[in-house]
A = this chain, B = another copy of it.
């Protein structure tokens, strides 16, 4: 439980979950360990900024925080540069298209175009998944600074589905293959029934600044057929970002 007001404010905001519609001040207090009167006071102060909205049913994250979040130049610029390429990919395949960046040992999805006949995927704009078992994550890790990869390996490769790769040797061999081919494939490693093919968007320093992917039903999509399209989009985005992009 943080001692500073800043820490408490963001502890409260971080206590909201994607599935919450509204939650009570008492529940916020419980989740954070902040005393109820303090939580009450901070919530009402935040409500003055529309950061949260206090409704009859409870508190929800407010439109003001949505607006502030969209001032984040890194994801916003990336979305803008990637937008036409993602739209092309979406139109060409009809599958779900993702754009993600690396954050710590996770990926954060910054854009998602929902396919019309795809499966429901666990991903969500602004949401996180572990990097090691997702297509975009592996594409990002293949071109990540060594400390990020080290952090992932130190955290461990934990089985999420029967198909998750948890053997370190296999995992590193796969990253090598991704570096050679420019494409990462995910076969039901994070979610059963879901496959995807991803490609890294390489920045100036040769590291991945983002990854783009197509996701679909494991028993329907042909990842090898989709790979060149995804790779092409990634290269286009890289060029659009004004970087030299991947040389190979």
Chain A residues close to B by CB (< 8 Å): 4-7, 9-10, 13-14, 16-18, 20-22, 42, 45-46, 48-51, 53, 60-77, 83-84, 87, 91, 101, 103, 108, 110, 113-114, 116, 124-128
Q: Which residues of B contact A128 (CB under 8 A)?
A: 67
Q: Contact at B7–A70, with CB atoms within 8 Å?
A: no
| Top-3 shortest CB links A-B | A69-B69, A70-B126, A5-B5
Q: Which of A14, A60, A68, A108 has the most CB of B within 10 A?
A: A68
Q: Which residues of B contact A4 (CB under 8 A)?
A: 45
Partner of A67, one of B45, B62, B126: B126
Oligomer copy total? 2
Q: Contact at A114–B83, with CB atoms within 8 Å?
A: yes
Q: How distant is A91 from chain B, measured CB to nearest CB, in Å?
A: 7
Q: Contact at B48–A7, with CB atoms within 8 Å?
A: yes
Q: Contact at B73–A21, with CB atoms within 8 Å?
A: yes
A72 to B76, CA, bound (A): 17
Q: Which residues of B contact A5 (CB under 8 A)?
A: 5-6, 9
Q: Which residues of B contact A71 (CB under 8 A)?
A: 13, 16-18, 20, 61, 65, 126
Q: Contact at B84–A75, with CB atoms within 8 Å?
A: no
Q: Contact at B65–A14, with CB atoms within 8 Å?
A: no
A4 to B45, CA, bound (A): 9
Q: How distant is A233 from chain B, measured CB to nearest CB, in Å?
A: 15
Q: Contact at A68–B125, with CB atoms within 8 Å?
A: no
Q: Contact at A110–B45, with CB atoms within 8 Å?
A: no
Q: A17-B71, A62-B74 are in contact. List 11 more A-B contacts (CB 8 A).
A: A5-B6, A6-B45, A10-B49, A61-B71, A63-B74, A65-B65, A66-B108, A67-B69, A68-B69, A68-B126, A84-B116
Q: How distant is A196 from chain B, measured CB to nearest CB, in Å?
A: 19
Q: How distant is A119 from chain B, measured CB to nearest CB, in Å?
A: 15
Q: How distant is A60 from chain B, measured CB to nearest CB, in Å?
A: 5
A84 to B91, CA, bound (A): 13
Q: Which residues of B contact A62 (CB under 8 A)?
A: 72, 74
Partner of A73, one of B20, B69, B113: B20
Q: Contact at A46–B6, with CB atoms within 8 Å?
A: yes
A53 to B70, CA, bound (A): 14
Partner of A127, one of B64, B70, B75, B124: B70
